[in-house]
Amino acid sequence: MIFNGHTGWRLSLAAVLTAASLHAADVSVSAELSRPDITAGTMAELQLKVTGAQTADVPKEIDVEGLQIRLTGQSTQVQMVNFKVSSSVVYSYIVMPLRTGDFTIPAIGVLADGRRFVTSALPFSVRPGSAASSAASAPIPQPMLPQMPPGMRPRQAPRPAPQVPSANRLAFGEIHCAKKSIYVGEMVPVEIQFFFDAHYPVQVRGKVDFGGEGVLAERFPDPKESHEERDGVTYNVLTFHTLLSAVKPGSVDLAPAKLDSQMQIPGGAPPGFDDPVFQQLLGGQSPFTQSRDLAVKTAPLHLDIMPLPKEKRPDSFGGAVGQFDIDAVVANPHPAPGDPATLLIKIGGKGNFKAMGPPVLTNAEGWRTYPPTDKFDSSDELSYTGVKSFDYTLIAQQDRQLSPGAEFSYFDPVAQQYVTLTTKPLPLVSTPGSAAVPPLSGAVAPASAQGSPIPKQSTGPAKEGDPLGEITLRSWTTPVQRPEFLIASLAMIVATVALAGILYLRDLQARGGSDRSRRRRRIATLWSVINADTSDAISVYDAAVEYAGMMDVPESARDAVTGPLKEQRDKLKYGTGGSFPLPPAERESLLATLRGLGPGKTGGSIS
C-alpha cells in the first residue's frame, strides 16, 4: 500500500547515480549525534555513516554505562559533488539515557570493504529535567549534514538541509476501546488508527499485529483512509476496526497493536542539490530520500475480563452475550398431513452471534422436532450486528393447531443481567401422516421414534446428532483381559476356599473332631475302664467287647476274642457277681487277651 507514489523517477535517478558510483572513492566511516546533549526523558539519534561501501558490518548495540544505544535501521544516501558521485550507507542508532550525566560514546569499529575502520569518540551529556517538560520542549532533531570527505566541505556556510522529523512524529498509533471491563464472551468494538505524516510517502507492510492470550480479535477488514491534522501536521490516517472477545476471566494487558511500514524521508541531498531552486524544479520535493523502516505502535490496552454470573442463569442460556430481540415465523402454517412444517426463529441485535446456541422450543408436546439449521445475515463487516435465523423442522405426531413456542436467553452486559425472550405458539394446523415419516436428510430421528430406546447405560443426547456432554471412561479391553479382573477372580477363589475351610473346621469342631480322633479317644476311654480297679465286671466286659470290636484285625481273629468275652459278659449280666469288681487275675488275663489284638497294646491299630 503506497500513499505517495511519486518517487519512481527519483528512484530511477538514484539507481543511475548508484551505478555511476561503481568507481567509488575510498571508504570512510564517521559517526554523528543528532544532539550532543539532551534532557532526561528524551532520546537522541546516532548515525554511523559508511561512505564508499555498499554494506558494512556494524555493531547492533553499543555498550555505554548509563546509555542504551541500539541499531534501529539503515538507509542509503547518494551524493554527487561536482559530478562526482558517491554513495553512503547510514546506520541509525537510537540513544536512550538511563541516567543523567556526561558520557562519551566510544569509538565504533566498522568492518567495510574487507577493512576495519574506527570512528572517533563522541561526547554526550544528559541534563536533568522533568519528563513532561522535556518531552514538551524536546526539539525536533536537528538536520544532519551529509558527512563529506575532508577537503570537500564547502567553504560557505552549510545550506539548510531538509528537515527530518523524529520517528514518533513521523508515525504513531492510537487505540480506542469503548470499554475497559468486559464479560467473557462479550464482543467489544475496537478502533485502531495509524497516523503517518502526510509529507512523506509511506508503504505499509504486512498486517496489523494485535491480540493476546485469552483474547480473540476478529479478522481486520480493509482499513479506512482519511486525513487528520494534529499539532499543525497533516497526517494520513489508516483506521482499522475489529472486535475483541475474551475467553476467560482475569486481567489482560494486550501488547500494542503494531503495523510495519517503510517511509521515505528526505536526507542525503549533496550541496548543489539542496538548493530550494533545484527542489522547485523537481516539483518542490527533494530527490534525495532515505527509506526508514517504522514499526508503528499504539499504546498497550488493559482489559478486565469478568466472568458471566452463575446466579440466575436461565436453563435456556446458550452462551449469547449482547443485546438481542426475537421473532418467530411459521413458513407453512398448513402443511399436508405428515408433511413437515418449518418454524423460523430469528434472533437479531448485536453481540457474539458465532457462539450463540439455538433457542429452546417450548410447548413442543405432540411435535417431533429436529436440531435446527442456522444462518447468519450480518449487517456489518465485522458480524457484530445482524440477524441469526434458526429453522426448526416440525412433524406433527398428533393433531396440532399451534406451533411450539421458543425461549432464548442471553446475557446483557449493559444491564449486567440475564434476559430471557420468548415467543408464543403460532397458528400451525398439522396432522400426522398415516405412513411412517422418512427421516429428513441431514437430520436423524430421535431414538424413541425408531422403536429402539437409547440404553440406560448411555448418557444419550436429547436429540441425535447433538454432541454428548458428560464424559465417561471405558476400557478398550474386555474385563477378562484386564489384570484387575483376573486378580479379583483369583481373590474370589481364595476367599471361597478359605470360607469353605473355615466352615469345615467349625463343623468339625462342633461334631467333636474327626472320626479317627473320636475313635482314638473312645479306645482310650475303654482301656481306662478295663484297667480301672473300681469298674464292675459287667462294665469291664462291655468295654472289652467294644474295644475288641474296634481293633483293626482280621474278622476271624476278632470273633475269636469277642465271642468268649460276650459269653462271659452275658453270664455276669444275667447271672451273679456282675456288680463286683473283676478279680485281678481275671483282669490281667483279659488285658493280655486284648493286648494280643493290636500292636499298640493300649490302642491297637486304627483303621
Partner 1 sequence: MKHLMTFLLTLGLLTVSLCAVVPVDSGSANAQFHAGRTAEALSSYRTLLASSAFAKAGSFELWYNRGLAEEKTGEPVAASLSFRRALILSPGFVPARRQLSKILESLGVPFRETPIDKAFTLISPEAMILGGAILGWLGLLAFVVLFYANREKKGYLALALVCFVLGHGVSLAGSMTDPRRVAASQGVVTSKTSPTLRATPADSGTAAGTLSPGTLTSILSRNGAWWYVSDGSGHTGWIPSDTITPLIPALPSASGS
* Chain center to CA of 35: 50
Asked if 499 touches partner 1 (CB under 8 A), the answer is yes
H or E segment to which residue 559 belongs: helix 555-574
H or E segment to which residue 194 belongs: strand 188-197
Kindly indicate which of the ranges 22-30, 225-233, 289-297, 448-456 contains the residues binding partner 1, using the contact rule CB under 8 A. Answer: 448-456
Please identify, using beta-carbon distances, which residue of 172 and 183 lies nearer to partner 1.
183
Among 165, 256, 432, 460, binds partner 1 (CB under 8 A): 460
Please identify, using beta-carbon distances, which residue of 173 and 358 lies nearer to partner 1.
358
Give, as ranges, the residues between 66 and 95 that touch partner 1 (CB under 8 A). none
Asked if 437 touches partner 1 (CB under 8 A), the answer is no
Number of residues that bind partner 1 (CB under 8 A): 52
Task: Say if residues 580 and 536 touch (Cβ distance below 8 Å).
Answer: yes
Among 450, 525, 531, 605, binds partner 1 (CB under 8 A): 450
H or E segment to which residue 265 belongs: strand 258-266
Q: Is 231 exposed, middle or buried (0-12, 13-18, 19+ CB in 10 A)?
A: exposed
Give, as ranges, the residues between 464 and 493 that touch partner 1 (CB under 8 A). 464-481, 484-485, 488-489, 491-492
Q: Are strands 44-51 and 233-246 parallel, antiparallel or unpaired?
A: unpaired
Give, as ranges, the residues between 122 and 161 that touch partner 1 (CB under 8 A). none
Please identify, using beta-carbon distances, which residue of 176 and 219 lies nearer to partner 1.
219
Among 299, 331, 495, 592, binds partner 1 (CB under 8 A): 495
Q: Report which residue type is found at 223.
A: P
User: Which long-range contacts link 385-389 to residues 24+ away (Cβ below 8 Å)?
Assistant: 385/349, 385/350, 386/348, 386/353, 387/346, 387/347, 387/348, 388/346, 388/347, 388/348, 388/353, 388/356, 389/344, 389/345, 389/346, 389/347
Please identify, using beta-carbon distances, which residue of 14 and 356 lies nearer to partner 1.
356
Pick left, alpha or beta for residue 5 (phi over 0 → left; psi -120 to 50 → alpha; otherwise beta). alpha
- Cβ 290 to partner 1 shortest distance, Å: 46
Asked if 361 touches partner 1 (CB under 8 A), the answer is no
Q: CA 459, CA 468: separation in Å to the nearest integer?
A: 7
Which residue in 70, 125, 61 sits closest to 99, CA to CA? 125
Among 356, 361, 544, 565, binds partner 1 (CB under 8 A): 356
Please identify, using beta-carbon distances, which residue of 434 and 472 lies nearer to partner 1.
472
Q: CA 469, CA 81: separation in Å to the nearest integer?
A: 79
Give, as ranges, the residues between 295 and 334 that touch partner 1 (CB under 8 A). 318-319
**Which grid coordinates belong to 378?**
450480518
Kindly indicate which of the ranges 413-421, 443-451, 526-534, 556-564 contains the residues binding partner 1, using the contact rule CB under 8 A. Answer: 443-451
Among 500, 524, 557, 592, binds partner 1 (CB under 8 A): 500
- Cβ 504 to partner 1 shortest distance, Å: 7
Please identify, using beta-carbon distances, which residue of 375 and 595 lies nearer to partner 1.
375
Which residues sit at the interface with partner 1, rule CB under 8 A?
Answer: 318-319, 354-358, 374, 444, 447, 450, 452-455, 457-461, 464-481, 484-485, 488-489, 491-492, 495-496, 499-500, 503-504, 506-507
